[in-house]
């Protein structure tokens, strides 16, 4: 049975409030097993006993969450092996990380970006920020804190499609706890 991590976009922002036990209950009601949440930011770990294809499983989870919660929930699904691989990547050297006022970020995307989209993203990077696109992830080292960044996130979404952002540290902690 495959273990997955569902990274949900926009959870517990504004009027969207859901407690982790409720989120677990929704995933269990979908027939998913060994459901756990990590922090209160829409990270759900689970096992799919049916062995559904990843793309179909992602579509089903999105549709069922939309129906259960009453609003659109974008789901970015990754297998445990993929999460472990993302956590193991080191796209920025230690010196760059130490020099930055920001934390390394990972933007999980719905699909692998085209060459044109990759160039558009690199053109959007504020001065001093570092960006590396690998597979369905954008690794971003902002030169400042996220609340101070000049990155145009709407333009980023336009170039890549919507994504959801987690710190690299959060990805590493999820991988260490659930994806070993």
Asked whether 169 and 106 are in contact (CB, 8 A), the reply is: no
Encode pLDDT of 46-61 as tens digits. 999 999 999 999 999 9
pLDDT at 33 (0 to 100): 98
- Among 8-12, 18-22, 45-49, 103-107, the minimum mean pLDDT is found in 8-12
Return the number of other C-beta atoms located less than 10 Å from residue 124's C-beta.
Answer: 18
Encode pLDDT of 33-45 as tens digits. 999 999 987 999 9
pLDDT at 47 (0 to 100): 98
Closest-CA residue to 25 (of 66, 67, 68, 59): 68
Which burial class, exposed, middle or buried, applies to 57 when counting CB atoms under 10 A from its CB (0-12, 13-18, 19+)? buried
Encode pLDDT of 128-178 as tens digits. 999 999 999 999 999 999 999 999 999 999 999 999 999 999 999 999 999
Encode pLDDT of 69-112 as tens digits. 988 999 999 999 999 999 999 999 999 999 999 999 999 999 99
Helix axis angle for 153-160 and 115-124, nearest 10°, is 170
Domains along the sequence of the chain with CATH: 2-84 (3.30.70.1280), 87-178 (3.30.70)
Torsion, CA 91, CA 96, CA 100, CA 102, rounded to 10: 10
Asked whether 144 and 101 are in contact (CB, 8 A), the reply is: yes
Q: Could you give phi then psi for residue 121, rounded to 5 degrees?
A: -65, -45
């Amino acid at each position: 049975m495959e273990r997955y991590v569902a990274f949900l976009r926009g959870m517990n922002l504004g009027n969207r409030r859901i407690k982790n036990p409720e989120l677990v209950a929704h995933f269990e009601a979908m027939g998913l097993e060994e459901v756990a949440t990590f922090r209160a930011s829409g990270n759900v770990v689970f096992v799919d006993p049916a062995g559904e294809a990843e793309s179909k499983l992602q579509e089903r989870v999105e549709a069922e969450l939309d129906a259960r919660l009453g609003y659109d929930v974008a789901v970015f699904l990754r297998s445990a092996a993929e999460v472990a691989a993302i956590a193991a990547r080191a796209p920025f050297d230690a010196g760059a990380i130490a020099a930055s006022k920001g934390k390394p970020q990972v933007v999980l995307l719905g699909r692998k970006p085209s060459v044109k989209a990759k160039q558009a993203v690199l053109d959007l990077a504020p001065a001093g920020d570092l960006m590396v696109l690998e597979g369905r992830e954008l690794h971003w080292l902002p030169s400042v804190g996220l609340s101070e960044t000049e990155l145009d996130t709407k333009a980023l979404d336009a170039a890549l499609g919507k994504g959801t952002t987690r710190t690299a540290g959060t990805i590493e902690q999820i991988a260490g706890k659930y994806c070993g």
